[in-house]
Structure 1
Amino acid sequence: MDGTWRYAVTLPGPPGGHGPPQVVIVHATGELTAAGAAVYADGAGTFRVVIEGGAARPLAAPPGPGRHICLHVVPLP
């Protein structure tokens, strides 16, 4: 972990729906993946990601066709 405890993750709107993106705040959970990467989750703990190289990768398969698996992140103070 690089010392950042919170990130804003941008979830794009539905493909072809022209909906606005949704921003989800995730925080470090203290858990690690089997590969040793830090796990981050939203407040409810249902959206879980690993932050790698400035992008978030969801731990669970994204639902539905065309869902993004590499999401933009911004570190938060």
Structure 2
Amino acid sequence: MNPANRYALTFPGTPGTQAPQDVVVVARTDAKGPGGHPVYEDDTGIVRAEISDAGEVRMLASGGQQSPHMPVHAHPLP
């Protein structure tokens, strides 16, 4: 199965508020993550994730002080 070129990652809103969920679109890069799967990132390069063929997501820190949150859902885009 070929991995998608883009995914929409949905993150939970701020806990304890009525804030909507955040959706970030990430595109495939030439890099491979620690699990050997493709790395995807948003246009800013701040949101980075390794996504397997099965849709499993591993968030990757893009800076030294970052503690990335796990998305609720990763949806492949056409």
RMSD: 1.9
Residue aligned with 1:10, SS? strand
Shift of the 69–32 alpha-carbon distance from structure 1 to 2, 3 Å rule, reads same
Residue by residue over 1:23-72, the C-alpha shift from the partner in whole angstroms, topping out at 9 and shown as x without a partner, is 1100001100233111000011110011243343211232xxxxx42530
- Distance, in Å, in 1 between the alignment partners of 2:18 and 2:9 is 19
Q: TM-score, normalised by structure 2?
A: 0.77
Aligned residues: 72
Which letter does structure 2 place at the counterpart of 1:42?
Answer: D
Shift of the 18–55 alpha-carbon distance from structure 1 to 2, 3 Å rule, reads farther
- Distance, in Å, in 2 between the alignment partners of 1:19 and 1:70 is 15
Shift of the 71–59 alpha-carbon distance from structure 1 to 2, 3 Å rule, reads farther
Are positions 1:34 and 2:22 aligned together? no
Q: Is the 8 A contact 1:9 1:56 kept in 2?
A: no
Shift of the 35–57 alpha-carbon distance from structure 1 to 2, 3 Å rule, reads closer
- Distance, in Å, in 2 between the alignment partners of 1:34 and 1:57 is 9
Task: Give % identity.
Answer: 43
Shift of the 3–37 alpha-carbon distance from structure 1 to 2, 3 Å rule, reads closer
Structure 2 stretches of 5 or more lacking a match?
62-66
Question: Runs of 4+ in structure 1 displaced over 4 angstroms?
Answer: none
